[in-house]
Structure 1
């Protein structure tokens, strides 16, 4: 049965995306129940949609690893109560205590749940840039979550990581080699991946997208993201990929909808620039090959505009 689950995950395509699928786990604040992707590695797959009251802010993937000597959680979660709900699920799979939380970046849905884990005495680790990002914008993230989630944001507060790193953090316990790696600039400040070389599995965070359109923020430098992808991420040659959003899959799939999308969009914007086009026209460059992706309507024009602003001065 497990092999069948893994096969289905790896063959996941955008048809399985969940922007319009109602909550899959009504018994919990989690959008979906955690599934075992490969032995000892689990992920609760979030909605591939913006954070809403209905999905309780669970619109990213919350993963955890049973190491044999404690549990490593990847992402603090988008609220205190969401982190608590994940912990309750972890307890149904193991008696091992949660010993470490790794924040994949400095965004609210990765860090606002730190407040719960801190109250449990769990160590929290993140990249130094992610920690700075959360220090600077954590209050804004919290206010947004409280506005969207209302009573479901109860207990959430800004809690920064206990420890930061710059390049590599190796989990110091358990039977598995687990590394948190900062490969270079990508989607947002302090983005990291969690790499398990023996299992050939990467929990890729927001360096890799497939079922939903990736967002390009003001601080997202697409040419740097592509360089990080080509020079570092591809070298992992992972067999299994758990992205930041969407079902577990493989390198071909995330390459198609991350690296290839960035290349495609930059080519279209480049053609527009070469023809003397302006910012207003850039919003309407052809992105039709990607209209099936969740969050296309929310993000496509913004992405094009930000790429134009970057490429105008490259």
Structure 2
């Protein structure tokens, strides 16, 4: 999602552009392979099993930056989704429209070596490795489409900010229960070597049971590791709590209440782990 409304040169009215896979350099393919190798080694024991299943279905272990045309053949066969290339962040309503029609927007550029571990604007590694494997899972695929449909409604109600928080704390930085363990599923975590460790192992962040209204009121960071993560019970439960409810009354309550600051815990929270916030304090990023 983004805030700009200026259509970039060469983009179609829906902001899509050709991927131009043949134009990637050897260095760019090597960067993908370097990033992929790090995550492939550490994710299997940390990520929700559906993610690894998606990698297998899409054959994403093949060397080099994936060709969207090839990925789309397998992805569309699985759940009817496809990936479309865009020049960068797109306006909110364009983003929602693509999701509502089972199209996932992905940047075509890959990060330079000096930004190996962190970049603020998502690149192709974040967008494709982070997001696309779970689009093979039928229920998560339905959640993403429902999010797009909900976004179009939220835009008319002036509630995009609340819905953006939902996206942030589920699609980007969500955790899920797996028996007695917590597993990763958010793309912002699974595409980040450091946060893949931090989100599950570090004592600093809170790990809180998912509650839709609580999430819609919760501020977040875009410039560092998260101070709180929200834990869903399952993709089925996430879909039930978001698609199969009337969001109107929730929006009205959220509109009248103050946002919840980053890192805060509430008496009503179902707390899996009360974080020390030590990392945030040490790095000067407390709210």
TM > 0.5 between the two? no
- Which of the two has greater strand per residue? 1
- Which of the two has greater helix per residue? 2
After TM superposition, the score normalised by the length of structure 2 is 0.26
